[in-house]
Amino acid sequence: AIKASYPSWVFEYFQHLESIVRSFFLSATTSRCFINDDEVEDWIRLGITVHSRDEVGLFAYPGQSNMTGRRLPLSWSARIRESSHGRTFTLLDAAALATTSPLDLSDPAASPDFVSVSFYKIFGFPDVGALIIRKAAGHLLQRRRYFGGGTIDMVIAVGCTSHVKRDSSLHDQLEDGTLPFLSIFALDIAIDVHARLFTSMARISSHTAFLASYLYNNLQHLHHENGSSLLRIYTDDASSYGNPALQGATIAFNVYTAEGKLIPCQVIEELADNEGIYIRSGSLCNPGGIATYLGYTPEDLKRAFALGNRCSKPLSDIDGNPTGVVRVSLGAMSTRQDVDTLVSFLIAKVLPIKDQDLVWSDDPTLENLVGYDTVSLLEAVKLPSPTKHVVERVAMKSVEELSPSGKSRRLARLFKIGRFKR
């Protein structure tokens, strides 16, 4: 859509951006990846990029890394707008950030031009998302060279081809096809129930910040008998667990035996699944973060691909180096008992694993990774059960009890949007 308005446009992005947003570079004239905060700060301060009248830029970055949980400066959007990069618009990927942090968009001058959020990640259901657009930036999306049903007022299909786009509100021009109206109705209910259970995003932020700090401090002290660390935790210099302005409730790590051999992250996830502990493993759709923290060069990644490594079917390791990480995420419903359960699991089921417990075949794909001795450890200790009943109690309420009373501006309340209009 941007290319239709400005055939020449520059895409600048921070390395921790998820794959789906990073793909914007495919339609950009040129692109640039910022490796760290210092590069972004220098770029803003020095004003290296000066766009012509026929060129614009889009700077995209995550409010929170979906790998390490590190939170990036929300002030970048306003500073870029005030700098010599005035024709550079900003996109904040708030999918991870908005799950456990207030999102204040009440001041348009300080807000990003575009904000993407995932209601699925906030509520679990419904599985829809939203693009929040600053009105002053809406014109970038109004010259699309395609259209869908519901975004036009007239189409001529016989004799000649012509169409007239809607010229009313911006959302009418962008909402192609039939809207997911059942999910939108469910979203109304989800916001009400979420507020009833947790009262505010600020409270969730404080709760998860405490749990993340508690978990991080416990994980740091997990060592083998020979003194070597069980985990290698990936953090940024700017991270500060317990400070929600700098760090979200996410921790990424890899696991090693006392002899220093990697226990593949996929094996850890499978062992945890058997205990009812749900974590994620792999590259997390974050190629920049994985390459940076695991030390892979472009040549290394090309070699890994040639060896058979794929995003959806990863190798267990490459020359003993991990191809992904274990990620633990905490949310509004997480408890201190959940943290204790995870730590107990690592002590009882993972810490005893020795090099000889991992049997490798010639085929490095995970289907042929055998660890029978490791699996047998599952019977060693009975772990406390993590919490799992809160959602069931909510689901047992009647539809009438959960129905919203009136059509309030719930999205505006959730994200603190000033002068909200649909």
Q: Is 285 a catalytic residue?
A: yes
Catalytic-labelled residue, pool 33, 160, 265, 285: 285
Q: What is the pLDDT of residues 149-160, one digit of tens each?
A: 777 777 877 777
Q: What is the mean pLDDT of the chain?
A: 82
Distance CA(347)–CA(261), nearest Å, equals: 17
**Do the beta carbons of residue 51 and residue 34 sit within 8 Å?**
no
Of 8 and 125, more confident: 125
pLDDT of 376 > 50? The answer is no
Q: Reduced to 3 states, what is the DSSP secondary structure of residue 135?
A: helix
Distance CA(190)–CA(182), nearest Å, equals: 12
**Do the beta carbons of residue 47 and residue 84 sit within 8 Å?**
yes
Nearest to 229 by CA among 252, 251, 255: 255
Q: Reduced to 3 states, what is the DSSP secondary structure of residue 164?
A: strand
The pLDDT value given to residue 154: 77
Q: How confident is the model at residue 7 (pLDDT cuts 50, 70, 90)?
A: low
Distance CA(62)–CA(65), nearest Å, equals: 6
Instruction: Specify the CATH class of 2-99+103-141 in words.
Output: alpha beta
Q: What CATH topology corresponds to 200-379?
A: Aspartate Aminotransferase, domain 1 (3.90.1150)
* Domain ranges across the chain: 2-99+103-141, 200-379
Distance CA(88)–CA(112), nearest Å, equals: 11
The pLDDT value given to residue 254: 98
Q: Residue for token digits 């005035």?
A: 86
E strands in 50-136: 55-62, 88-93, 114-118, 129-133
Q: Residue for token digits 């935790």?
A: 233
The pLDDT value given to residue 176: 80
Vertex 394: Cα angle to 393 and 397 (nearest 5): 95
Q: What is the pLDDT of residues 225-271, one digit of tens each?
A: 999 999 999 998 878 999 999 999 999 999 999 999 999 999 999 99
Helix spans in 166-244 (H): 170-174, 181-198, 201-220
